[in-house]
Amino acid sequence: MKEKMNSEVKGMKKQFINSHSKLVKEAAEKKGVQFKALIPSLFFYQLSFKERSNLFCEGLADLTPAPAYIAAERKNLSCQFLKKWDVPIPEAVVMHNFEESFDFLKKYKKIVIKPLNLAWGLGITAGVSNKSVLKDAIDHVHKYVKVGGGFLAQEFLEGEDHRVLVVGYKKIFCLQRNPAFLVGDGKTKIKDLIKGKKVKTGSMGKFLKAPKNKLLIALKTQDLDMGSIPEKGRKVKLNTTANIHFGGFSVDKTNVVCEEAKVLAKKVAKKFAMPILGIDFVSSDISKTPGKIIELNPAPDLVMHTNPDFGKSYNPAEALIDFLFFSGEEEDLKLRPELN
């Protein structure tokens, strides 16, 4: 279990760290801010300007208190705090076995199974709607979670997946994310469409291929398998989640995200005292309604916003540098979490 997870995470981190840190480095140097890599991989780095300096680990700043990071990173804890603050979220319960999860499935009809504290969509199966897929989903989560250890069962929400990024408590960036897919031609098996490179993926999909069992589960949620021949024009999703590092598409929605979603995102960032926070919303139309928040990422990827597959590009690293050294927002720089 651990070796499998380590190998996937290592591959993703190598790409993420290098591209993320280089983005911040370029934005810093453009404004005369010193960027200093503290170890060769750029995993830890320091930003300095005049008398101020800040230490970073990937996308996590030293401004973020450890208790707040833990509360945001652990999905079960973040759900409890969000609910306490009257932030709209789907129902979610920590589970330990199939029986508990099946009772939850019977109540909500369609659910999500996910680890308590992993990013990049690792271990997650969304759209679980029957006993067979639930068994597969729990087997999948146990590749990342010790058998008998807790995992989260969450009510599935219909709608589009959106990553809302908050920088400096004021700047908002938003991407809609969609899973990789293929389109049936009415005569070719899915396995042959995949071999023939007929899969539609986003520009960042090259970072890492989704594990095969995630593909098989995704097909099963659509009553398909590798030998199925989808009818002509049928869109077949190849992942149950829309994570762009597993081939998902991104569409920029920064200019249309509704005010209510912005207010919610800023509220959550301030409550956790996190000047950089990724917040995942599921909404039918983010320009009209925020929908609900499904999870948080306290060390979010900035790079995805610079190169969406569709729509305008933004550079959140520039907003980060401005906030830290040029905004004059001294009170925001001293914010403490409101977890009580």
3-state secondary structure the chain: CHHHHHHHHHHHHHHHHHHHHHHHHHHHHHCCCEEEECCCCCCEEEEEECCEEEEEECCEECCCCHHHHHHHHCHHHHHHHHHHCCCCCCCEEEECCHHHHHHHHHHHCCEEEECCCCCCCCCCEEEECCHHHHHHHHHHHCCCCCCCCCEEEEECCCCEEEEEEEECCCEEEEEEEECCEEECCCCCCHHHHHHCCCCECCCCHHHCCCCHHHHHHHHHCCCCCCCCCCCCCCEEECCCCCCHHHCCEEEECCCCCCHHHHHHHHHHHHHHCCCEEEEEEEECCCCCCCCEEEEEECCCCCHHHHCCCECCCCCHHHHHHHHHHCCCCHHHHCCCCCCC
Looking at the structure, tell me whether residues 96 and 134 fall in a common domain.
yes
Identify the pLDDT of residue 209: 58
The residues near 319 (Cβ < 8 Å, ≥ 6 apart) are: 167, 168, 171, 173
Residue 330 pLDDT:
84
250 inside domain: no
- In angstroms, the CA 171 to CA 18 distance is 24
Give the pLDDT confidence score for residue 117 in this predicted structure: 87
Range of the domain at 139: 91-156
Are both 138 and 96 inside the same structural domain?
A: yes
- The answer to the question of residue 164 being in a domain is no
148 and 105 co-located in one domain: yes
The pLDDT value recorded for residue 42 is 58
The count of structural domains within the chain is 3
Whether 298 is covered by a domain: the verdict is no
CA angle, residues 313, 316, 322, in degrees to nearest 5: 130
Residue 135 belongs to some domain of the structure: yes
Q: Could you tell me if residue 97 is inside a domain? A: yes
**What is the model's pTM?**
0.90
CATH number where 126 lies: 3.30.1490.20
Co-location of 97 and 47 in the same domain: no
**Pair (137, 189) in one structural domain:** no
Assigned domain for 327 exists:
no
Question: In sequence order, what are the beta bridge partners of 173?
Answer: 165
Last residue of a domain, one of 140, 156, 172: 156
Instruction: State whether 149 and 186 are in the same domain.
Output: no
* Shared domain check, 195 and 142: no
Based on the fold, state whether residues 146 and 189 are members of the same structural domain: no
101 lies in the same domain as 146: yes
Q: How do the pLDDT tens digits run along the chain, 340 residues long?
A: 445 444 444 444 444 456 888 899 999 999 999 999 887 665 789 999 998 999 988 778 888 888 999 999 999 999 999 999 999 999 999 999 999 999 999 999 999 999 998 877 888 999 999 999 999 999 999 988 877 679 999 999 999 999 999 999 999 999 999 998 899 999 999 999 988 777 777 766 543 456 678 889 999 999 999 999 999 999 999 889 888 877 888 999 999 999 999 999 999 999 999 999 999 999 999 999 999 999 999 989 899 999 899 999 999 999 999 999 998 888 888 889 998 7
Last residue of a domain, one of 101, 123, 156: 156
Indicate whether 145 and 197 sit together in one domain. Answer: no
114 located within any domain: yes
Query: At 228, which amino acid appears?
Result: S
**325 falls within a domain:** no
Q: What pLDDT, on the 0 to 100 scale, is given for residue 208?
A: 46
- Where does a domain end: 46, 61, 76? 61
Strand 60-61 and strand 151-155: pairing? unpaired
